Amino acid sequence: MSEPNTLQIPVMADLAAEGKMPEILFWVGCAGSFDDRYKRVTWAMIKILNHVGLSFAVLGPEEACSGDPAKRAGNEFLFQVQAINNIQVLNGYGIKKVVTACPHCFNTIKNEYPSLGGHYEVLHHSELLQQLIAQGKIRVKGGGEFKGKKITFHDSCYLGRANDVYDAPREVLQALDAELVEMKRCRSKGLCCGAGGGQMFKEAEPGKKEINIARIEEALETGATIIAAACPFCMTMMSDGVKNQNREADVKVYDLAELLAAGAL
C-alpha cells in the first residue's frame, strides 16, 4: 500500500519503542491493505486523521486477518487461531481503542474477541467521523463538492442489523449538504449486498438474480448519482452492480471517508 505523499502513518511498533501510546489503533483490514479500490478508503481515513491531528497508529505487518471470513465459512479453529494471534499483539501493546473501516472487522473485534481475551473499545469509522464532525474538528466548507447531489446509503449488515449503527453514517452524509435519498429497503430492513457470511469468496448459488443486482436496482430507483457504502465487501458488490447496469459513467460508489475527505480537506 503506497501513495506518493507526505502523510504521517505511525506504526505501533515504532511508537512503543519510543514509549508512546496512540489514542486509537487504526485497524486497516485485509481489503484496506491489499484491495486496490479499498486502499483509497484507507488513504482517505489517513488524510482525515492527519488533518484533525488525532493520535493514531497502525499495526502494519503485525496486523493479520480478523478471522471473520474463516468463522462465517464455518472454520472455527482457523478463526480462533487468527483471533488469538491478533489479541496477543493488541494486548502486548496495551491497546484500548480500535477504529476500523470494515464492519466485518468491527463486529468481530467488538463482539467476538472478548470471549478470547480481547477487550477493547471498538468504533466503526462512520462513528469516529460523526464524532469529529460533531466536535467541529471537520468542517465541510460551503457544502463541499457534493452539495445538492442525490446520495443514497447502503446499510451494511454487520454495521446495521448486527450492531445497530444507522444514524452515524447518515449524519456524516448530511454534513456534506447533499440530498440523502433512502432506498425502499433501508436501515433494519436493508437488503444484504450478497457478500457477507463468506459468500464473497464463493460462486453464486442457482437463482433468478444475484443479490447485488437486486440491490443496485433499488439504489438506482432513488435517482441517486452517488451510492455511499461503509464496507469493503459492499463496495465491491455495489460497484459490480453498477457495471452490470452499464451506469459507470453517471453513478459512482464511494466510501463515507472518501466523500468526507473530498468535501472537507
- pLDDT score of 142: 66
Cα Rg, the chain, nearest whole Å:
18
Task: Check whether 8 has a pLDDT greater than 90.
Answer: no
In a domain, residue 60? The reply is yes
Residue 102 burial (C-beta neighbours within 10 Å; 0-12, 13-18, 19+): buried
CATH of the domain at 113: 3.40.50.1860
Q: Which set of grid coordinates corresponds to residue 203? A: 460462486
Asked which of 128, 150, 177 is the last residue of a domain, the reply is 128
Q: Are residues 152 and 95 in the same domain?
A: no
| The total number of structural domains that make up the chain | 2
Mean pLDDT, residues 87-97 taken together: 98
Q: Are residues 155 and 239 in the same domain?
A: yes
- pLDDT score of 143: 60
- pLDDT score of 3: 54
In a domain, residue 64? The reply is yes
- pLDDT score of 93: 98
Q: Are residues 241 and 218 in the same domain?
A: yes
Torsion from C-alpha of 103, 183, 264, 109, nearest 10 degrees: -10
Q: Are residues 260 and 144 in the same domain?
A: yes
pLDDT in tens, 75-88: 999 999 999 999 99
For 1, 54, 254, the CA distances from 4, given in Å and listed in that order, are: 11, 22, 21
Q: Are residues 28 and 81 in the same domain?
A: yes
Average pLDDT over all residues of the chain: 93
Confidence bin at 4 (pLDDT 50/70/90):
very low
Q: Which set of grid coordinates corresponds to residue 88? A: 496477543
Please state, in angstroms and rounded to a whole number, the distance separating the CA atoms of residues 56 and 12: 9
In a domain, residue 83? The reply is yes
Confidence bin at 102 (pLDDT 50/70/90):
very high
Q: Are residues 156 and 45 in the same domain?
A: no
Q: Are residues 145 and 184 in the same domain?
A: yes
Q: Are residues 107 and 46 in the same domain?
A: yes
pLDDT in tens, 113-170: 999 999 999 999 999 999 999 999 998 876 667 888 899 999 999 999 999 999 999 9
Closest CA to 65 of 100, 36, 116, 37: 100
Question: In this structure, are residues 229 and 103 in contact, taking their beta carbons and an 8 Å threshold?
Answer: no
* Residue type present at position 58: V
Mean pLDDT, residues 173-194 taken together: 93
Q: Are residues 147 and 67 in the same domain?
A: no
Between 36-52 and 125-134, two packed helices, what is the crossing angle to 10 degrees? 30
**Strand extents, DSSP E, 5-111:** 24-27, 56-57, 97-100
Please state, in angstroms and rounded to a whole number, the distance separating the CA atoms of residues 256 and 262: 10
Asked which of 128, 163, 186 is the last residue of a domain, the reply is 128
Structural domain range at position 227: 140-264
CATH of the domain at 260: 3.40.50
pLDDT in tens, 145-155: 788 889 999 99
Asked which of 102, 128, 154 is the last residue of a domain, the reply is 128
Q: Are residues 156 and 251 in the same domain?
A: yes
Q: Are residues 108 and 179 in the same domain?
A: no
For 29, 44, 140, 185, 229, the CA distances from 101, given in Å and listed in that order, are: 8, 11, 21, 23, 10
In a domain, residue 58? The reply is yes
Residue 254 burial (C-beta neighbours within 10 Å; 0-12, 13-18, 19+): buried
In a domain, residue 53? The reply is yes
Task: Check whether 37 has a pLDDT greater than 50.
Answer: yes
Closest CA to 102 of 50, 73, 67: 67
Task: Check whether 5 has a pLDDT greater than 80.
Answer: no
Name the helix (H) or strand (E) containing 13. helix 12-17
